[in-house]
Structure 1
Amino acid sequence: MPKRAYLAGPDVFLPEAAAHAARKVAICARHGIEGRPPLNEDIASLAALPEAEAWRSIFAKDLAMMEDCDLVIANLTPFRGASADAGTLVELGWFLGRGRSAFGYSNCALPFAERSARQVAAVPDPMPGLTVGGFGLPDNLMIPGAVLWAGGAAMVVPEDGRDRAFDSLEMFERCVAVAAGRMG
């Protein structure tokens, strides 16, 4: 029976999220992993619910899916800021906290400290004078640390110094290959 991977990330917000998820599932299958994207396919039913019910329904569905998975493969590409998507980080932490395997990738080649400096230059810093120690890492040290701790491998990032498009699947496929190798 193949290992089941929860495919965490803000990819669910892409305009063609279902098609993108299908490509990710196919990549996982080629590597012997069952990919489980947290899509909300029944948008009409969710739209008919009051907001308080809709978000709780999505949360419960995603939590049940995570419970049913052996590992997470997280898209940690910066999302609307210098760092990874907050919801994805909660999901990564959930797997870490349960002692389950976690793997992560980013389509961004720029180290976290440099992205943070660019963010501060573009948007006024509400806490001037604070510094960010980047350590040459792809994101806040707790994120690649969690991936390394829970998956035994570093975050997959472009090694050629060139960013990839947010929806590129090149780093995702490399990450799936790493996960498949580690998971046996």
Structure 2
Amino acid sequence: MKKIYIAGPDVFEPNSIEIGRKYSNLCEKYGFKGLYPLDNVVDFNQEKRKIAQDIFKANVELIKQADIIIANLNAFRGKEADSGTIWECGYASALGKKVYGYIAKNLNYIDTFNEDETKKLNGIVVDLDSKTIEDFDYQINLMIACSVEKLVIGGFEDCLKELEK
């Protein structure tokens, strides 16, 4: 049975354990075994940096065990996807794993900015700090969009359905 590493900021939600169970159950429904970061056993009665290292090592091990990564690439605490999730996608891709991502809105990245958050500089749309805003007709940064096997508009189960094709 192929294994799917379930990546995303869902681990920060108040009901993160239930979300993980739901996603793992969906994996089973589609013939996969789900590997959710919160399935790891970590001793939280130690120094914070040791806890962080243990979480990191455990998640890296899960990614190594996985055949496929499905990543929640929705904006998290801003306009970008969760940085930890992005790292996991890059690491998995470097290991030769298939990475699938999902995003709720079919909105180009540049269109996530309101007019009061941008200006034009020499005909190019930039943010208020005069930094260029990507405009490549992707919903997310080009490095992620071009490295995932498929960027699905929808949710976790939509990615699983894509794997059936």
2:15 is matched with which residue? 16
Segments of 5+ residues of structure 1 without an aligned counterpart are: 159-170
Aligned-pair Cα RMSD in Å: 2.2
Alignment of 1:31-180 (within 5 A): 31-39=30-38, 45-46=43-44, 48-115=45-112, 117-118=113-114, 121=117, 128-147=129-148, 151=149, 153=150, 155-158=151-154, 171-180=155-164
After TM superposition, the structure 1 stretch with the greater mean CA deviation from structure 2, 9-18 or 133-142, is 133-142
Scaled by the length of structure 2, the TM-score of the pair is: 0.87
1:162 is matched with which residue? none
* Kept after mapping to 2: 8 A contact 1:4/1:36: yes
> 1:141, 1:57 → 2: CA distance?
31
3-state DSSP of counterpart to 2:146: helix
Higher helix share: 1
> 1:91, 1:74 → 2: CA distance?
9
1:25 is matched with which residue? 24
1:161 is matched with which residue? none
Letter in 1 for 2:135: G
> 2:93, 2:116 → 1: CA distance?
30
Count of residues in Structure 1 that have an aligned counterpart in Structure 2: 158
Letter in 2 for 1:96: S
Higher strand share: 2
Scaled by the length of structure 1, the TM-score of the pair is: 0.78
Runs (4 or more) in structure 1 with deviation over 6 Å come to none
Distance change in 2, residues 1:50/1:34 (3 Å) = same
Distance change in 2, residues 1:69/1:40 (3 Å) = closer
> 2:19, 2:142 → 1: CA distance?
29
* Kept after mapping to 1: 8 A contact 2:127/2:133: no
> 1:5, 1:32 → 2: CA distance?
10
Q: CA deviation at 1:172?
A: 1.0
Q: Percent identity?
A: 28
3-state DSSP of counterpart to 1:156: strand
Segments of 5+ residues of structure 2 without an aligned counterpart are: 119-125
